[in-house]
Structure 1
Amino acid sequence: MPHADSLIITLVGGFVLAFVLGMIAHRLRLSPLVGYLVAGIVAGPFTPGYVADLELVPQLAEIGVILLMFGVGLHFSPKDLMKVRTVALPGALVQIAAGTLMGWALGDLVLGLGHLEAALLGFSLSVASTVVLLRALEERKQVKGEIGKIAVGWLIVEDLVMVVALVMLPLLVIPEGQAVSLALTVKSVGWTVLKVVAFVLLMLVVGGKVLPWLLIRIAHTKSRELFTLGVLSIALGIAWVAYAVFGASFALGAFVAGLVLNGTPLGHNAAERSLPLRDAFAVLFFVSVGMLFDPMIIVREPLAVLGVVFIVVVGKSLAAVMITSAFKLDRATSLTVAASLAQIGEFSFILAGIAMYLGAMSRETHDLVLATALLSISLNPFVFAAVDRLGAGKPPPELPPSGLSPEEKDAAALAKVM
């Protein structure tokens, strides 16, 4: 059996390379995601030496996408989003539109791409990585503050927009040479949307009652293994149901499953139990993305790479500053949100990969997106350092002593943030 050890070799190679290069990235004060992507480049077909199983890795990466989206749903808080909705919702939508427009202009007017491919390039550049943002805010101890709530709420809106886009993209891309019928396209889109809405409603209504009951029953066994297995079975099982029965994506099914569990009393435990496996397969997802990247594009198309990186790091940041200034946010919040958006990550990978699979995006453009992600994530710590010098790192002024108890002070501080 010459291929009997393919899975083991792929897992060992992927995890070991990701660990070593992730540690190096961390020591260089970069995001470990940079190390994971470089690990994929090392294990990919475009560099000499070890090459992982190119048929097996995408399947493992799909599990990573499912668990990533499950985690997004588990951590999605409608209450937190509603608190900052007046800024995060319109701000994120306008910023997505601005980023997409800048990317389209570069792709269509400078790089000579078709309208659809240029628009998909711009859309890929318009959304930032929630993973990178949360790690940056955690290092700055700003996750629970007002600045963190606005930045996270902003990216939650971006994530939701991207989830909808991933559902709609296969319906809107017409294969080359196929006749286009507006009536059939509208009918196909309408039917798919109807099935997706039915799935979401079924999950929110029926799943909202069944899943909490099921988790409680599993918890009563007092078995950590069964509870962890139950959570993962729910995530993967619902993702499969969404795909096989309702024609939605695995990612959407996993996101809705996480969203439903998030509102249950055991939602926090579910997130904690699934975290190790989510992290492990998320690493394989980033490694698989790196395997698809041809680093020679930086040599072949240096100006194109500089152009898309400029849009992400500078263009999106300036757009965010103008948007937040229009909402009269303070300087520190405005600059922090701008720095948070100066990178792209997991959703950009997923969108570019699906677009390339559907034939709507060339490998060259796909590599541009990956090069931009790699460079923008690497540059993000320096962007935060720059905005700190401009005033983003200044702590808010402390209130004068009031003689209140610690509990009352905490309540007063929370009320001020809210």
Structure 2
Amino acid sequence: MLEPWLLNTVWISLAFVGGLFAKRISLPPLIGFLAAGFMLNAFDITEGSQAIEIAASIGIMLLLFTIGLKLNIRDLFEKAIWMGTSLHMVIITVLSGGFVFLISVSGLNLFTDISIQTALLIGFALSFSSTVFAIKILEGRGEVNAFHGKIAIGILIMQDVFAVLFITISKGSLPSVWALALPLFLYAVRYLLFKILDSIDHGELLTLFGLFAAMVAGAASFQFVGLKPDLGALIMGILLGGHPRAKEVATHMMSYKDFFLIAFFFEIGLSGMPTWNSLIMALIFIAILFIKGGLFLGLLTRFNLRSRTSWLSSLSLMNFSEFGLIVAGIGVKNGWMEPEWLVILALTMSLSFIISSPFNQYAHQLFDRYKNILMRLNTKTDHPDDEPVNLGDTEVLLCGMGRVGKVAYEHLTKQFGNKVMGIDYNHERVKKLKKSNINILWGDSTDSNFWENVNMPKIKMVLLSTDDYPTDLNTANELYCIPNKQFKVGTLGHYEDEIEALKKAGVDFIYDHYTLIGKEFAGEFLEFLDTKST
């Protein structure tokens, strides 16, 4: 038996090597973490699996908490989200369940005969998409706040609501009567946490505040009344999302969330070693994976979303979920299915991550290649994600109107007046800035259709001002494809490798953040001293 500290070195080493190798072959690091978990299992290094399970639970809670901090609850009432989720889950449950039942009675001997009820339970497990995987994909592309990112997150949260209902029903008992007091408790806690957040500084107390809010005020309180603790962390994040410092809290929690989520992928690998039967069954289920993604694409376009939005949302949801393991665990505990299904579903989920990752990594390129086919799915009515087609006499265009973009806009209007325009793919931000009389339109600068269709005859400068490297690089790549462009492109850069990639994408000017900010600071301070001396 390994010493605890030595066991930690094994985990960290395997995670680092696996993640590094996956990155080198153009796969997300999470695939390497997943492989590391299976390696631990293969070498029978399973001591401390309980600690990994606890760390994974913390990671999921922090993930949902940070999602809640950025979520607008009104987005969940979009028909594409609540009705699209419901229809998709029903259809996939019936199709997958029927498929499993047919295989069971076909005589292929992959597993023993199962009832139609158990088959539907397995289908229900396969209808969920992984929150962890989808958010990691969206974060990696800088698209959590994009319109398609919000659609995907809304669907994931609706699925989580169905998960809570299932767990409650499967227990055979209602939550504690104290659950009725939750609204009053949450209202009081929100008021108290707002006051605390107003008073603490930007250091370690802010990090501890985030952990306390997510795990104690949120998760533990829901667990106490018999509800899903993950849901409590999400709800607490939503309640705190209205505070001016919500984004700062989310930033502080990001690295902790990423670290603990490594344990989530380890846990999958440690869930059991596959047999040939389970491997064959998992490979068969991959066919359902593509049906699942295609169904999302079809439903979202029928709910009047553009094909590109539907495509990007569908790809991030084209996977199987960790909730499948929870369903299987409940099924095994209640005697509804054989324990082998735990391994089958774990392997199916792992394969779905591996297969879905390249599709998501090249999501924009794939859409550009096949958009003539995909755009046939567009309805002929106006879409909520339609983009501007004419920029008029605009000479300066800012892509991204967050803190950096807004400051740049205010500075540029002093010289160019009303010939400066901003675009942003955050609907709420666009509405808010329009009320402040800022010249802004909703648009996605990473969309090739936007640049192909927009009329911008007088544009002289395009500033990529999201200060988010993946988004700015995707935009730069789209601008690079514009033939005979008559404007210059500028953006910000933070690291040497990112600056080199932006240069290769055709960016004309890159503001080296860490180098130039020091020069500007010194220069402006000298000007201040000169002014004072005179």
TM value normalised by structure 1: 0.80
Which residue does 1:212 correspond to in 2? 194
Is 1:390 matched with 2:370?
yes
Which residue does 1:41 correspond to in 2? 38
Q: Which has the higher helix share?
A: 1
Is 1:129 matched with 2:126?
no
Q: Measured at CA, do residues 96 and 307 of structure 1 come closer, stay the same or move farther in structure 2, by a change above 3 Å?
A: same
8 Å CA contact 1:261–1:270 kept in 2: the answer is no
Distance 2:345 2:359 in 1: 19
**Larger of the two Rg values belongs to structure:** 2
Q: Which moved more, 1:343-352 or 1:34-43?
A: 343-352
1:202-351 alignment runs, 5 A limit: 202-217=184-199, 219=200, 222=201, 224-238=203-217, 239-244=219-224, 246-294=225-273, 296-297=274-275, 299-312=276-289, 314-351=290-327
Q: Measured at CA, do residues 254 and 401 of structure 1 come closer, stay the same or move farther in structure 2, by a change above 3 Å?
A: closer
Deviation at 1:16, TM superposition (A): 2.3
Distance 1:275 1:142 in 2: 15
Deviation at 1:247, TM superposition (A): 2.3
Q: Measured at CA, do residues 74 and 57 of structure 1 come closer, stay the same or move farther in structure 2, by a change above 3 Å?
A: same
Matched AA of 1:321: L
Matched AA of 1:54: S
Deviation at 1:285, TM superposition (A): 2.1
Distance 2:231 2:387 in 1: 42
Matched AA of 2:288: I
Q: Measured at CA, do residues 41 and 303 of structure 1 come closer, stay the same or move farther in structure 2, by a change above 3 Å?
A: closer
8 Å CA contact 1:151–1:337 kept in 2: the answer is yes
Deviation at 1:43, TM superposition (A): 1.4
Which residue does 1:97 correspond to in 2? 90
Which residue does 2:29 correspond to in 1? 32
Distance 1:106 1:37 in 2: 27
Q: Measured at CA, do residues 196 and 322 of structure 1 come closer, stay the same or move farther in structure 2, by a change above 3 Å?
A: same
Q: Which moved more, 1:52-61 or 1:122-131?
A: 52-61
Distance 1:133 1:257 in 2: 21
Matched AA of 2:353: I
Which residue does 1:71 correspond to in 2? 66
Q: Measured at CA, do residues 350 and 203 of structure 1 come closer, stay the same or move farther in structure 2, by a change above 3 Å?
A: farther
Segments of 4+ moved more than 6 angstroms = none
Is 1:13 matched with 2:10?
yes
Distance 2:178 2:18 in 1: 43
8 Å CA contact 2:282–2:348 kept in 1: the answer is yes
Which residue does 2:497 correspond to in 1? none
Q: Which has the higher strand share?
A: 2
Distance 2:32 2:196 in 1: 39
8 Å CA contact 2:68–2:234 kept in 1: the answer is yes
Deviation at 1:213, TM superposition (A): 1.2
Distance 1:137 1:237 in 2: 27
Is 1:403 matched with 2:393?
yes
Q: Deviations over 1:27-46 (max 9, x none)?
A: 222232222222111112xx
Deviation at 1:234, TM superposition (A): 2.6
Q: Deviations over 1:170-197 (max 9, x none)?
A: 424xxxxxxxxxxxxxxx32xx175435
Q: Measured at CA, do residues 398 and 381 of structure 1 come closer, stay the same or move farther in structure 2, by a change above 3 Å?
A: farther
What RMSD over aligned residues (CA atoms) do the two structures have, in Å?
3.2
SS at match of 1:368: helix
Q: Deviations over 1:226-284 (max 9, x none)?
A: 2212221232223223323x122332332222222223222222222222222211111
8 Å CA contact 2:388–2:443 kept in 1: the answer is no
SS at match of 1:128: coil
SS at match of 1:345: coil
8 Å CA contact 2:101–2:119 kept in 1: the answer is yes
Q: Measured at CA, do residues 195 and 33 of structure 1 come closer, stay the same or move farther in structure 2, by a change above 3 Å?
A: farther
Deviation at 1:203, TM superposition (A): 4.2
Can you give the 5+ residue segments of structure 2 that lack an aligned partner in the other structure?
A: 105-112, 376-385, 395-418, 425-429, 431-438, 445-534
Distance 2:297 2:193 in 1: 42
Which residue does 2:379 correspond to in 1? none
8 Å CA contact 1:10–1:57 kept in 2: the answer is no
Q: Measured at CA, do residues 361 and 319 of structure 1 come closer, stay the same or move farther in structure 2, by a change above 3 Å?
A: same
Is 1:196 matched with 2:179?
yes
Can you give the 5+ residue segments of structure 1 that lack an aligned partner in the other structure?
A: 173-187
SS at match of 1:108: helix
Figure out how many residues of one structure are paired with residues of the other and give that number: 384
8 Å CA contact 2:331–2:337 kept in 1: the answer is yes
Which residue does 1:108 correspond to in 2? 101
Distance 1:397 1:208 in 2: 37
Which residue does 2:171 correspond to in 1? 171
Deviation at 1:10, TM superposition (A): 3.9
Q: Percent identity?
A: 26
